[in-house]
A and B are shown apart, each in its own frame.
Chain A
Amino acid sequence: MEQLAGKIDPARIRGAQGRHLRAALVPLAPAVIFLLVVFVFPIAAIFYYAVDTGDARAAFPRTRLAIASWSGADLPDAQAYQALVEDLRGAFVSRAIYPAARELNNRMPGFRSIVISAGRQAQAWPPESGREALLAVDPVWGSVDHWRAISSAVAPFTAYRLLAALDLRPQWNGLPVAAPVDQRIYVRYLGRTLWICAVVTVYCLVLGYPLAYLIATTSPSVARWLLTLTLLPFWTSILVRTAAWVVILQQQGVVNGSLQWAGLIEQPLTLIYNRVGVYVVMTHVLLPFMVLPIYSVMKGIPANLLPAAASLGARPIAAFVQVYLPQSQPGIAAGCLMTFILALGYYVTPALVGGATDQMESGLIAHFALNEGNWGMAASLAVILVLVVLLAYALYARFSRGKALQWA
Chain B
Amino acid sequence: MNRLLHSSSALTLLAIAAVVGSSGAEARDFTVASWGGGLQEAQRQAFIKPFETKYSVKTTEDVYLGGWAKFQTMAETKQVVWDIVNVESAEMARGCEEGVFAKIDYAKLGTPKSDFTPGGADECGIGAYTFAFVVAYNEDLTKVAPKTMLDFWDTQKWPGRRGLRKGAHYNLEFALLSDGVPAADVYKVLNTKDGVARAFRKLSTIKSQVIWWEAPAQVADLLASGNVVMSIAPNARISDARKAGKNLGMVFQPGMIGIDYWVMLAGTPFPTQAYDFLKVVSDPKQQERFTAAFAYAPTNRKTEALLDAKAVALLPIGTKVSGALLTSSVEANRFWADHGDEINAEWNNWLAK
| Residue positions of A touching B, CB distance < 8 A | 23, 26-27, 29-30, 33-34, 37, 95, 98-99, 102, 105, 109-110, 112-113, 182-183, 185, 188-189, 250-252, 272-273, 355-357, 359, 364, 367, 369-374
Determine whether the beta carbon of B69 is less than 8 Å from that of A370. yes
Q: Is B246 an interface position by the 8 A CB rule?
A: no
Max chain B C-beta neighbours (<10 A), residue from A27, A102, A367, A373: A373
Determine whether the beta carbon of B349 is less than 8 Å from that of A182. yes
**Nearest residue in A to B338 (C-beta to C-beta)?**
A113
Determine whether the beta carbon of B99 is less than 8 Å from that of A105. no
Determine whether the beta carbon of A369 is less than 8 Å from that of B349. no
Contacts A356-B207, A371-B69 hold; do A251 and B225 have CB atoms under 8 A apart? yes
Would you list 21 pairs from A and B whose C-beta atoms are within 8 A, ordered by A residue? A27-B5, A33-B13, A34-B16, A37-B20, A102-B341, A185-B352, A185-B353, A250-B225, A251-B227, A272-B227, A356-B207, A364-B348, A370-B67, A370-B69, A371-B67, A371-B69, A372-B67, A372-B68, A373-B67, A373-B68, A374-B69
Contacts A30-B16, A37-B20, A369-B69 hold; do A185 and B349 have CB atoms under 8 A apart? yes
Determine whether the beta carbon of A23 is less than 8 Å from that of B2. yes
CA distance A227 to B342 in the complex (A): 51
CA distance A28 to B342 in the complex (A): 49
Max chain A C-beta neighbours (<10 A), residue from B5, B9, B73: B9
8 Å CB contact of A356 from B76, B210, B226: B210
A49 shortest CB reach to chain B, Å: 12
CA distance A402 to B148 in the complex (A): 67
Determine whether the beta carbon of B98 is less than 8 Å from that of A98. yes
Chain B stretch 220-274: residues in CB contact (< 8 A) with chain A: 225-227
Contacts of B348 in A (CB 8 A): 185, 364, 367
CA distance A29 to B13 in the complex (A): 8
CA distance A185 to B339 in the complex (A): 20
**Nearest residue in B to A105 (C-beta to C-beta)?**
B341
8 Å CB contact of A372 from B98, B226, B341: B341
Interface flags for B58-84 (1: CB within 8 Å of A; 0: not) read 000000000111111100100000000
CA distance A26 to B6 in the complex (A): 7
Q: Which 6 A-B pairs have the closest CB atoms?
A: A373-B69, A373-B72, A113-B338, A30-B12, A109-B342, A185-B352
Max chain B C-beta neighbours (<10 A), residue from A95, A355, A369, A371: A371
CA distance A371 to B67 in the complex (A): 6
Contact-residue bracket for chain B:
35 or more
Contacts A99-B76, A185-B349, A371-B69 hold; do A355 and B211 have CB atoms under 8 A apart? yes
CA distance A46 to B126 in the complex (A): 38
A102 shortest CB reach to chain B, Å: 6
Contacts of B225 in A (CB 8 A): 250-252
CA distance A109 to B349 in the complex (A): 14
Contacts of A34 in B (CB 8 A): 16
Determine whether the beta carbon of A188 is less than 8 Å from that of B352. yes
8 Å CB contact of B13 from A30, A183, A185, A357: A30
Max chain A C-beta neighbours (<10 A), residue from B68, B72, B73, B99: B72
A54 shortest CB reach to chain B, Å: 10
**Nearest residue in A to B20 (C-beta to C-beta)?**
A37
CA distance A251 to B342 in the complex (A): 36
**Nearest residue in A to B68 (C-beta to C-beta)?**
A373
Determine whether the beta carbon of A29 is less than 8 Å from that of B9. yes
CA distance A109 to B346 in the complex (A): 10
Q: Is B8 an interface position by the 8 A CB rule?
A: yes
CA distance A273 to B231 in the complex (A): 15
B266 shortest CB reach to chain A, Å: 11
**Nearest residue in A to B166 (C-beta to C-beta)?**
A356
Q: Is B212 an interface position by the 8 A CB rule?
A: yes
**Nearest residue in B to A371 (C-beta to C-beta)?**
B67
Determine whether the beta carbon of A372 is less than 8 Å from that of B16. no
Determine whether the beta carbon of B338 is less than 8 Å from that of A356. no
B14 shortest CB reach to chain A, Å: 10
B209 shortest CB reach to chain A, Å: 10
Determine whether the beta carbon of A33 is less than 8 Å from that of B352. no
